[in-house]
Amino acid sequence: MKRTILTLIIIISAVFCVYGQNTEPIDLVLLLNTSSEMSSSYENVNDYITGRFLSDFLSVGDTFHLIPFSGSPRLDIARRISGIGDVETIIGRMLLQYPIESGNNIEAALSFAEQYITTLPVRPKKIVLVSTGSSDINNLVTRSQERLSSRNASLDFVLITPGQPLTNLPVSGRPTVSGRPTPASPAPVVPAERSVPAVTGQPDTVQETRTVTDNLPQTTADTTVTSNVVSETANQQPAVTTPVRPAERRDARSRSFAALIPLLIILLVLILGLIIFFASRRLGSNSNRAMSGGVSKSGFKEEAPAFVDHSKDLAKYAAVQNRQRTSPYSDRVKQENKPAIINPTGPLLLNLFVEEQNTAIGKRNIHSLKSGYSLSVGGKNSDFLVFLVNLPPNIGEIRRNGSQCTFIPRKPKYFPDLGANELRDCLNKNIRVISDKNYELRFRFEMYEDPLIALNRMLMSIKVPG
């Protein structure tokens, strides 16, 4: 899979180098159905959207927008393509869209996309819908295309038939931009007429020499044609030479340089591919060493087992946790369904943990919360501070009412999962936040206990015999 993605990136970057510099930038919006109906076509869809789709529709300078949907649509990523790193980022985001959710609301997805493009700059927009069909899918797509036609936007629909290969794929319709124009082939060089001096009294020798000279093969413009006329007598005639003209020499040099241009382009693409390959190997050296440790006790590598389809198990796992966590925050993640027992009359100390945020900040995010009071969450002057990314203050607050704690979003646009809905019994539950620059993070509230008090309680619980 890693080699396949690397190959796709090299091909796309080569297409960008040749075709992407002179086209008008566009906004490319991908509406991707992530419902469970797409699970049987997951591999075919990924091969298309990370390969042919990007090479056909996307160029350097364009802005790519990914909107996955099932029951309801949401914006996952919006990025302007200015280099190979941007292509790697959008491919990674597309591969994370597992088809495991319920619902297939295509009408809501089209409506969301039409409203979303009104907020984008004034330039051409291309929307591509990748989804399974429904009873009224043709009417929905036709009406949407009619509405978009007046907004300098177009809509293409890729119909997915579960379990079947993709057919009738759309083309971008963007004019191809050729590279350097190929120079016209120069007219063949006609050698100058070679005259043979007449030899008085020896016509047979002159005729034979002319025939041999005319049958010589024509060479390149740099070849000097020399014909020596030798008579049967003791007298030797001088050689007749056709000189090479300077214009012909320049044309030959130009043709040689033009032939080297494709080789230089291929060499640059290969160098770029090697740089990406070695960089990815260096970044993944730890995991590669761990994977390369599969050696049997006898010192020989064991044969690879037969392929087993674990797609259903992966789908169940992805439904609970849709991405791998490697930060110190992930080590503290507990079961979300574990209830927190709160004394309704006693004090309550709360601690805020933020994903990938350094926890060595003392007691900055530890506060006491009384019943009937609330504490704010966000950036700058909030009670619980998120300083990993730039967030406005008081984007939400946590309120305590006896033994129940409730999280209340004050700025719903930063909470794609909650919106304006309250989250009751919010302790030990992950809350997802999207910043203004589309950076995603999670935080959670936990009950805090002073380590010294916990140590004393443990020591007091130990009973010593005698």
- What does 18-75 look like in DSSP terms, one character per residue? HHTTSSPP-EEEEEEE-BGGGGGGHHHHHHIIIIIHHHHH--TT-EEEEEEESSSB--
Max mean pLDDT range (3-12, 72-81, 215-224, 271-280): 72-81
- Give CA–CA dist 204/228, Å, rounded: 15
pLDDT digits (tens, 9 = 90+) for 80-125: 999 989 999 999 999 999 898 888 899 999 999 999 999 999 999 9
For the cut 60, the answer to whether the pLDDT of residue 423 exceeds it is yes
Q: What is the greatest pairwise CA distance in the chain? A: 145
Q: What is the identity of the amino acid at 186?
A: P
Task: Give me the chain's average pLDDT, please.
Answer: 75
Asked if the structure places residue 341 within a domain, the reply is yes
- Give CA–CA dist 224/127, Å, rounded: 63
Asked if the structure places residue 24 within a domain, the reply is yes
Burial (CB < 10 A; 0-12, 13-18, 19+), residue 267, is exposed
- Banded model confidence at residue 162, pLDDT cuts 50, 70, 90: confident
Asked if the structure places residue 401 within a domain, the reply is yes
pLDDT at 30: 96
**For the ranges 155-159, 333-337, 387-391, 405-409, which has the lowest average pLDDT?**
333-337
Asked if the structure places residue 126 within a domain, the reply is yes
Domain final residue pick, 131, 159, 187: 159
Domain final residue pick, 159, 187, 219: 159
Asked if the structure places residue 59 within a domain, the reply is yes
Q: What's CA 94's distance to the chain center, in Å?
A: 7
* 395, 433 Cβ separation under 8 angstroms: yes
* 407, 431 Cβ separation under 8 angstroms: yes
- Give CA–CA dist 213/431, Å, rounded: 91
- Give CA–CA dist 6/4, Å, rounded: 5
- Give CA–CA dist 442/419, Å, rounded: 15
* Residue that has been written with the tokens 């869209």 in this structure: 97
State what percent of residues in the chain have pLDDT above 70. Answer: 66
pLDDT at 2: 60
For the cut 60, the answer to whether the pLDDT of residue 336 exceeds it is no
Angle at 92 between CA 86 and CA 96, to 5 degrees: 145
Q: What is the mean pLDDT of residues 72-77?
A: 94
pLDDT at 50: 93
State what percent of residues in the chain have pLDDT above 90. Answer: 37
Tokens of 395: 């984007």
Give how many domains the chain has, as a whole number. 2
Which of these, 145, 170, 174, lies nearest to 158 by C-alpha position?
Answer: 170
Q: What is the mean pLDDT of residues 209-219?
A: 39
Which sign does the torsion angle of CA 5, 7, 9, 11 carry?
Answer: negative
Angle at 426 between CA 420 and CA 430, to 5 degrees: 85
**For the ranges 201-215, 252-266, 325-339, 445-459, which has the lowest average pLDDT?**
201-215
- Give CA–CA dist 44/52, Å, rounded: 11
Tokens of 25: 């930038």
Spatial strand order in the sheet of 63-69: 77-80, 63-69, 27-33, 125-131, 153-159
pLDDT at 340: 75
**For the ranges 2-11, 22-31, 168-177, 284-293, which has the lowest average pLDDT?**
284-293
- Give CA–CA dist 349/357, Å, rounded: 20
Tokens of 320: 């609970």
Domain final residue pick, 112, 135, 159: 159
- Banded model confidence at residue 447, pLDDT cuts 50, 70, 90: confident
Q: What's CA 375's distance to the chain center, in Å?
A: 39
| Owning domain of residue 32 | 2-159
pLDDT at 282: 79
Asked if the structure places residue 245 within a domain, the reply is no
CATH of the domain at 27: 3.40.50.410
* pTM across the whole model: 0.38
CA dist 409 → 332, 413, 414 (Å): 24, 9, 8
Asked if the structure places residue 35 within a domain, the reply is yes
- Banded model confidence at residue 263, pLDDT cuts 50, 70, 90: confident
CATH of the domain at 362: 2.60.200.20
pLDDT at 205: 39
Q: Where are the beta strands (DSSP E) in 132-190?
A: 153-159
Asked if the structure places residue 9 within a domain, the reply is yes
- Banded model confidence at residue 364, pLDDT cuts 50, 70, 90: confident
For the cut 50, the answer to whether the pLDDT of residue 352 exceeds it is yes
